[in-house]
Structures are given as structure tokens and as C-alpha cells.
Amino acid sequence: MTHTPEPDEDDDLDLAPAPKPVHYAEQALLGALLLEPARLADTEPLIAHHFDSHTHAALFTAIRTLPPPDPDDHAKDTAWLNAVLDHARPHAPGLNASYLHALIQFCPQPKHAAAYARMIRADNARRILRAHAERLASAATDPGLPNRAATTLGLADDIGRVLDSLAEQFAPHPGSFPRTTFPPDVPRQADEEDLDEERLLLATATAYPAEVQQMRWLVTDDFLLPLHAALWQSITALTHRGDMVDPVTVLGEAQHRGLLTDSLTPKDLMALVSTPAGSPEHWGEKILKRALLARAQTVAARITAYTDDPANTPHQLITGSRRALADLNALRTRWNRATAPTPAPSASTPARSAPRPQAGPPHRPTVTAARTHR
């Protein structure tokens, strides 16, 4: 919550940012309640936590806590106002009687208290959603976070629950998809280790093509380097057609797809797919995990953009954020398929075409082919 300047706080006010619309809604609501305490019934389900201003929240808590005065007595004296001030001042030391009277004077229409309360709740929804998006972005970009993929997906689930809760509080209306302009996507950064893992996937997939049949959860968009994505398409095409797969046949498929250039010779390409280590599933999961975390960052940025756009209504925030989460959930489905426990083989399960090394980080071979072809 922010601190609301009191009327006598004149120092540096010219340097302060202009108050947001919710500031005036909070002032108007409190003025209405101070003038006509019975209007409190019109504000449900508003609570103090919904206020942006700490001072305003303390005042609202005092109004809700103290028994309402008799309307006739309240019109004659300030006893109840003084009690509200005494209750709120320990939680907002800068509060004074003149500010309470200023709030009463500011309120345009006490009978509009319900509308002011809705504005406050709408702004709170915006802040809550933005805070959850920031946590999602932080988890997706924190390399030191244990179980980063699981934690990130858990935070995405939290956003989904927040959106479900908000949908129950704010009525939908037609034409509610937001028109927010998104910031440019941040390019996915790839270090040499990331690219090595993509090369190792291509080589192990070429060496153990039977494994590739079970890796439909990995798609070209998951790769950092377009060349690697195109080569993955070449290998999977051969595999799904039932053709023979080895470095030479991959070379032939790549030639048909126009991947050979002056900077990528046949020799380079064959070297690239001829250094297997580990298992295709191991490297594929690493590539998919990076794509998952990158997608989570994009989703967080989009939700943040929605919340930063003041033109969006609560229902527009909900609609846009749900669509953003749907993009992540589509990738989550593939991640769950990739990381699901492998069922025990049955007696009728055919043997592998060739044994492969145990999955897991292997001794990394020297990978030099196609390093410059980005």
C-alpha cells in the first residue's frame, strides 16, 4: 500500500507522481462512509487489504470495527468521527482530523459508495495479478532455484486460481478481449552449453532412432538454433516414415530440405550428427525445459502488460491472462508427457534396435561441427 499525503504535507508534493484514479475512489468512498456510516453495507465484499493507501486502509478498518452511530446523533456532533480517528491513528500516525473532514468534503455522492468500492476492488485485482506475474517471471529466470520447472508451473497454477477467484467477483461483459500492445519478446539467449545440448540430441537421435518415436513431445519451436530445429525435423521425418537413420541418410534428408549451404558443408553436417552421448530423452528434456521456462517468462510479461494498461477492465485482465496461460499450459502438457515415468516393459515389448548409454549427463565429447552456423 502507498502512503497518502495528508492535506498539511506540503513538502515536495510538486515532485510526487500524480495520484492514480483509485486514490480518488478511495477518498470518495471514505468520505461517503464518514458522512453516512450506514453506507458500509453497500461496499461488500470490500476489505481493508483492497486499498492501495495504507492510511485509507486504516481508516476503513476503523469504520468497519466501530459500531455505527445513531444517524441523528451523528448529524449533531463529531463524537463518532473522533472515535474513528483515535482507532486509526496508531496505524497511520500522520492522520489528523482535518483530513477526515477533507474526505467528507471531497465525496461527490455518498449514495455512489458501491461504485467507489468496485473501483477499489478492480485496482486491487490489477495489483494482485501483477504481483503474481512478477513472481512467475522471477522463478522462470532464477537458475539457482531447485526444481525450477515444477516451481514455475506451480506459480502458473497460482495465477490460474487467482483468475478463477476474480472471475467470480467481476461480471463478464461483451467485447472484453484487451487490446494491449505487448512489448517485443525478449530474444532467447543461448550459451555454448545450451547449443551443445542441442547438438548432442541430434547426434544421439541419429544413433538411436527408436527412441525418437517416443519423443513427439519435442517440437521445432523448442530449439534455440533454427538449423538444429531443421535437422530435428529431418531426423524425425526419417524415423516416422520408417526409413533407415544414420549420419548419411540424415545428410540426404537435409539436402532435400535445402539445409546445405556454403557455410554448412556435408562434412560439417555429418560430423554434427555423429557424436552421440547419453540418450535422446535426456537432451530432449533439457531442451524442452528451457522452452518451458522461456514461455513462462513470455506469459509473465504479457500479464504484466495487461495489468499496466489502465484501459483494461477486470474482466479484460482475466480474459487476456487466461489466454496467455493457455500458451504455457499447451507446453506444460508436452512437458508432462516427457517427464512421465516410463512404464515397465512387458514380455511382448520388442527389444531396442541397439543398446544406448544410460540417460544422464555424460562425459561431454568435443563438439566442434557447425559451431559457427547460427
Domain endpoint, select from 224, 257, 288: 288
Peptide bond into 45 cis (omega under 30): yes
- Distance separating alpha carbons of residues 152 and 314, to the nearest angstrom: 24
pLDDT in tens, 185-242: 766 777 899 999 999 999 999 999 999 999 999 999 999 999 999 999 999 999 999 9
**pLDDT confidence tier of residue 344, bands split at 50, 70 and 90:** low
Same domain? 321 vs 207? no
Rounded CA gap, 7 and 32, in Å? 18
Q: What are phi and psi of 217, to 5 degrees?
A: -75, -10
327 domain residue, yes or no: yes
**Residue 67 counted as domain residue:** yes
Q: Find the helix or strand (DSSP H, E) in which 313 lies.
A: none
User: Is the pLDDT score of 355 beyond 50?
Assistant: no
Tell me, yes or no, whether 104 lies in a domain. yes
Q: Are 18 and 104 found together in one domain?
A: yes
Are 164 and 246 contained in the same domain? no
pLDDT 10s digits, 250-268: 999 999 999 998 889 999 9
C-alpha cell at position 341 = 515415468
Model confidence at 372, pLDDT cuts 50, 70, 90, reads: very low
Distance of CA 311 to the CA centre of its chain: 20
Residue 356 falls within a domain, yes or no?
A: no
pTM: 0.82
Q: How confident is the model at residue 16 (pLDDT cuts 50, 70, 90)?
A: low
Determine, yes or no, domain membership for 101: yes
Shared-domain flag, residues 203 and 262? yes
Identify whether residues 20 and 73 lie together within a single domain.
Answer: yes
Model confidence at 299, pLDDT cuts 50, 70, 90, reads: very high
62: helix, strand or coil? helix
Range of the domain at 325: 124-186+290-339
Q: Which stretch of 41-50, 53-62, 165-174 has the lowest confidence by average pLDDT?
A: 165-174
Cβ–Cβ < 8 Å for 248, 174:
no
What φ, ψ does residue 234 adopt, rounded to 5°?
-65, -45
What is the pLDDT confidence band of residue 179, given thresholds at 50, 70 and 90?
confident
CA atoms within a 13 Å half-sphere pointing along the CA-CB vector of 114: 4
pLDDT value, residue 18:
83
Average of pLDDT values for 299-318? 93
Residue 30 has pLDDT above 90, yes or no: yes
For residues 91 and 147, state if they share a domain. no
Cα–Cα distance, 231 to 256 (Å, whole number) = 11
Predicted pLDDT of residue 215: 94
Judgement on whether residues 128 and 68 belong to the same structural domain of the protein: no
Assess whether 26 and 148 both reside in one domain: no
CATH number of the domain within which 209 lies: 1.10.860.10
99 φ/ψ angles, rounded to the nearest 5 degrees: -70, -35
Among 44, 24, 27, which residue's Cα sits nearest to residue 118?
A: 44
Q: Write out the three cell numbers for 271.
A: 560430423
Winning range, highest mean pLDDT, from 29-38, 337-346, 357-366: 29-38
Has residue 306 been placed in a domain?
A: yes
Confidence of residue 15 (pLDDT cuts 50, 70, 90): low
Q: What is the largest CA-CA distance in the chain?
A: 96
Those residues whose C-beta lies under 8 Å from the C-beta of residue 247, and which sit 6 or more positions away, are: 206, 270, 273, 274
Q: How confident is the model at residue 10 (pLDDT cuts 50, 70, 90)?
A: very low
Residue 149 inside a domain? The answer is yes
Lowest mean pLDDT among 2-6, 209-213, 321-325: 2-6
Q: CA dist 124 to 22, 163, 224, 306, Å? A: 9, 13, 38, 14
pLDDT of residue 183: 72
Chain centre distance of CA 315: 17
* Residues 299 and 181 placed together within one structural domain of the fold: yes
Do 283 and 154 fall within a single domain? no
Task: Provide the pLDDT for residue 343.
Answer: 63
**Same domain for 279 and 199:** yes
Kindly state the average pLDDT of the residues 298-310.
94
Q: What is the pLDDT of residue 230?
A: 96
- Asked if residue 207 is part of any domain, the answer here is yes
User: How many domains in the chain?
Assistant: 3
Distance CA 68, CA 310 (A): 35
Q: Do 196 and 272 lie in a common domain? A: yes
- pLDDT confidence band for 346 (50 / 70 / 90): low
Which of the 8 DSSP states describes residue 354?
Answer: S
In percent, the amount of the chain with pLDDT more than 70 equals 86
CATH number for the domain harbouring residue 30: 1.10.860
**Mean residue pLDDT across the chain:** 87
